[in-house]
Amino acid sequence: MNQIPSLKDQSALVTGADSGIGKGVALALAAAGAKVVINYAHNQAAADDVVAQITASGGEAFAVQADVSHEDDVKAMFAQMFARYGTIDILVNNAGLQKDSKFIDMSLADWNTVISINLTGQFLCSREAAKEFIRRGVVEDRSMAAGKIICMSSVHEVIPWAGHVNYAASKGGISMFMKSIAQELAPHKIRVVGIGPGAIQTPINKSAWDTPEALDKLLTLIPYNRIGKPADIGQLAAWLASDQADYITGTTIFMDGGMTLYPGFADNG
Ligand code: NAD
């Protein structure tokens, strides 16, 4: 994908854009011409650094603090975006985390935190974006759609994950959330799409790649035999947000080097 689709004059909001995949997505959307809101929860310096990278390459961005699981924060974040950019064309629901433990040891607090941020956060942000898309409608010289929502899911929307039950449940929930709002919003010319990353090299899964032994073990799950990079997901997100993907809605695109091909069955069964 060398030819970057144009997102010129469009404004985008990427949640959790100060790190990892969100940062990769924000950089890719900005490279395609979008103005980008860099949402962060706690690390303002990291968010400012992403803004600086974008502006240094001639793009436009600013950082907004908000906890996506808090309704007031989300509303205030959208108000700041509308005050600066007037509207929203692209929402990337990326913020997410893990709180891992054996199922029988999992606290209610860790269950609630993961569901609140990974799933409820997508609900709160998508609702604000959809209201604005419907109010404004299609702007023909910007995009064929009235708006695009990209939901960062995971291969764990389909692969069960022992020891990570709250995380897998949140991603399974995102799948049905994404499809249901895609069905409801399509008549308004709003597209909703999921991205299901496999193993992407970010802080969330550092222990799975930061030693040669861990990386070798991880690669047994990836037929294509390399770990993904945030830029891989960034390019996909920029394309999905563009009119080149105008007929795609209500489905998850897995970008996983074949992790969802059940590689354990390649020579067994
Ligand atoms: P990361 O830890 O680098 O980034 C997570 C981001 O979410 C950070 O920017 C963090 O600040 C933000 N965040 C956490 N809680 C927040 C909150 N309450 N409000 C706002 N932002 C919050 O990890 P990542 O790998 O870049 O993860 C990004 C997304 O990709 C997550 O949804 C994750 O589940 C998904 N994902 C990652 C992988 C992978 O292999 N890295 C695979 C599949 C899916």
**Which residue among 202, 206, 255, 259 has the greatest number of ligand 1 atoms within 8 angstroms of its CB, and so is best to mutate?**
202
pLDDT tens-digit readout, 105-136: 999 999 999 999 999 999 999 999 999 999 99
Element (H, E) at 254: strand 252-255
Residue 187 Cα to ligand 1 middle (Å): 31
pLDDT tens column, 151-166: 999 999 999 999 999 9
The pLDDT of residue 188 is 98
Distance CA 197, CA 22 (A): 12
User: Is the CB of 203 within 6 Å of ligand 1?
Assistant: yes
**Which residues on adjacent β-strands are paired with residue 191?**
148
Average pLDDT (41-48) is 98
Q: What is the pLDDT of residue 3?
A: 59
Checking if the pLDDT of 1 tops 70, the result is no
In the block, tokens 């074949």 appear at 258
- Tell me the percentage of the chain whose pLDDT exceeds 90: 97
Strands 35-40, 11-14: parallel, antiparallel or unpaired by DSSP?
parallel
Which 8-state DSSP code applies to residue 117? I
56 with 50: CB under 8 angstroms? Answer: no
Contact 147/205 with Cβ under 8 angstroms? no
Strand, helix or coil for residue 222: coil
Residue nearest to atom 36 of ligand 1 (CA): 154
Please give the positions annotated as active site: 167
Q: pLDDT at residue 2 above 70?
A: no
User: Once rounded to an integer, what is the mean pLDDT over residues 92-117?
Assistant: 98
**pTM confidence score:** 0.98
Q: Kind and range of the H or E element at 236?
A: helix 230-241
pLDDT band at residue 5, thresholds of 50, 70 and 90? Answer: confident
Mean pLDDT of 217-232: 97
Q: Which domains are delineated in the chain?
A: 11-255 (3.40.50.720)
Tell me how far apart the alpha carbons of residues 139 and 128 are, in angstroms, rounded to a whole number. 18
Of the candidates 11, 17, 134, the one whose C-alpha atom is nearest the C-alpha of residue 68 is: 17
What band does 268 get if pLDDT is binned at 50, 70 and 90?
Answer: confident
- Ligand 1 pocket member 15 (CB < 6 A): yes
Please check the confidence at residue 269 and state whether its pLDDT lies above 80. Answer: no
